[in-house]
Structure 1
Amino acid sequence: MSRRFFRSFVLPFALVAAAGATVAKDPVAAAKPTIVLVHGAFADSSSWNGVAGELRGKGYPVVAVANPLRSLSGDSRYTASVLDQITGPIVLVGHSYGGSIISNAAVGKAQVRALVFVSAFAPEAGESVADLAGKFPGSSLGDALAKPVPLPDGGVDLYIDQARFRGQFAADVNPGAARLMAIGQRPVAEAALKEGSPGSAWKGIPSYFIYGSGDKNIPSAAMAWMAERAHARQAVVIQHASHVPQVSHPHAVASLIEAAARSAD
């Protein structure tokens, strides 16, 4: 294989990989906003599979960001770099800690036309995930965490104990699927949850909220309070749903995202 061929093939591929994902835009999809999905702590991009499949089936370009879960500022910069690779309007969607990411990554991004918070934090500047999680009673996440894993920089990574994962995080998900989610969960650096939010893009971008009344990570009272503070255009409560409605109720989540996308056209 010639060096010239190697360069022509590998370099474009590397640039695409750095963007986090590729979107093949057909003529129908090109007329629709791109949906960018940002997962939260203790999850990964596969948690969006049901939602992404439904949206793709309706012609929406979809990108699922591999959230690093290392620091709020760093994760937000990474997500912003993904947004910079996308042409045209964007609907930015965040789950859980991912809500803090989209609240910052969208700052100054005119192409982001709507924010969708899926059981997600929507912090004011200076607020941390830890601050918001403790603002209202009802979260049992702290008791469900496994022993922290030390990091070389002196910090720690947090996981949910696998034996408690379904009850805490995904109570309305099929037991077999929840077991695999527990095994494949992505840890979050504790420091990321304690870092104050630099910005609050929801103040200038239309926002939408959807969450479950049975969420044990973020109390539903906290979600309702954040949605009201953000003057959400629509707030959907799924009765008895867990912290991952995008897994257990993908149609409801996709429908709200589509509503946000239609408003962004």
Structure 2
Amino acid sequence: MNPTVVLVHGAWHGSWCWGELIPALEAHGLPVATVDLPSSGPDVTALGDLDADVAALTAVLDAVGGPKILLGHSYGGLPVTQAAAGRQDVVHLVYVCAFMLDAGVSLIEAAGGEPPSWWRPSEDGTWMTADRPEEVFYSDCDPAVAAAAVPQLQPQSLSSCRQPLSAAAWETIPSTYVVADRDPELPQFVQEGMATGRATRVVHIDAGHSPFLSRPGELAAIVAACAEVTAAPAQAD
């Protein structure tokens, strides 16, 4: 039985961003499920924090039967790290240029304690938008792909990035870190630093911050290889 790949998007994004990756994964025989994290959305008065994202992801995990691979992109690495802790049905974690952090650490803390320069906080400091998204998120995407993605970006709660993780699933669940070598704002050495001592395996992809849009076939092949590794012990029994 192939594991279901549960896709967890990053900040400002939604499940719409997986439009190219989902058919590429399905071509490998992998079923897919997605989640829309409540920390991102159009209603800035209703945005959730990290715990709300974990709850939303947990609900999806509970609804999907069988073994699961969790794939988190960027901020999505945080809810993946916390939600999978203690679960027996999550067989592998995939971090795609994602925040792979220790328990007790927040995204802001991992970023050095201050918001990056391209974050645009609201006047009341409760939510933010992203400046220069074409450059930050979609630097190596086809211009038409980037142009279609930018209008779909939504405000992101700042509380989701200030809240520390309460658990770290990578301590007990095998994991793969996918380093996006051409990410302009999360440099290769930063990604490798997060992966070192945490990820079971590190692979590289020649892509910017959104390989699910610029290199969906290559990313799907990496995930499919993870699925093969998780299935190998069961096939040998």
The two structures have a TM-score, normalised by structure 2, of 0.88
Partners of 2:179 and 2:213 lie apart in 1 by: 12
Identity %: 33
2:161 alignment partner, SS class:
helix
Q: Which structure: larger Rg?
A: 1
Determine which of 80, 84, 88 is the counterpart of 2:66: 88
Query: Who is 1:111 aligned against?
Result: 89
Query: Who is 1:233 aligned against?
Result: 200
Task: After the TM superposition, list the runs of 4 or more consecutive aligned residues in structure 1 that deviate by more than 3 angstroms.
Answer: none
Corresponding letter in the other structure for 1:68: P
1:144 Cα deviation (Å)?
2.3
Query: In proportion to residue count, which structure has more helix?
Result: 1
Q: Which runs of 5+ in 2 are unaligned?
A: 40-47, 232-237
Query: Who is 1:159 aligned against?
Result: 129
Corresponding letter in the other structure for 1:250: P
Partners of 1:237 and 1:185 lie apart in 2 by: 26
Q: Structure 1 stretch 91-100 or stretch 68-77: which is displaced more?
A: 68-77
Q: Structure 1 stretch 249-258 or stretch 99-108: which is displaced more?
A: 249-258
Query: Who is 1:258 aligned against?
Result: 224
Q: 1:134 to 1:242 in 2, by over 3 A?
A: farther
Partners of 1:91 and 1:142 lie apart in 2 by: 30
Query: Who is 1:243 aligned against?
Result: 209
1:58 alignment partner, SS class:
coil
The two structures have a TM-score, normalised by structure 1, of 0.79
1:120 alignment partner, SS class:
coil
CA deviations 1:12-39 (Å, max 9, x no partner) are xxxxxxxxxxxxxxxxxxx211110000
Query: Who is 2:12 aligned against?
Result: 42
Determine which of 122, 127, 143 is the counterpart of 1:149: 122
1:72 pairs with 2:50 = yes
| 8 Å CA contact 1:91, 1:264 repeated in 2 | no
| 8 Å CA contact 2:128, 2:155 repeated in 1 | yes
Query: Who is 1:191 aligned against?
Result: 159
| 8 Å CA contact 1:132, 1:222 repeated in 2 | no
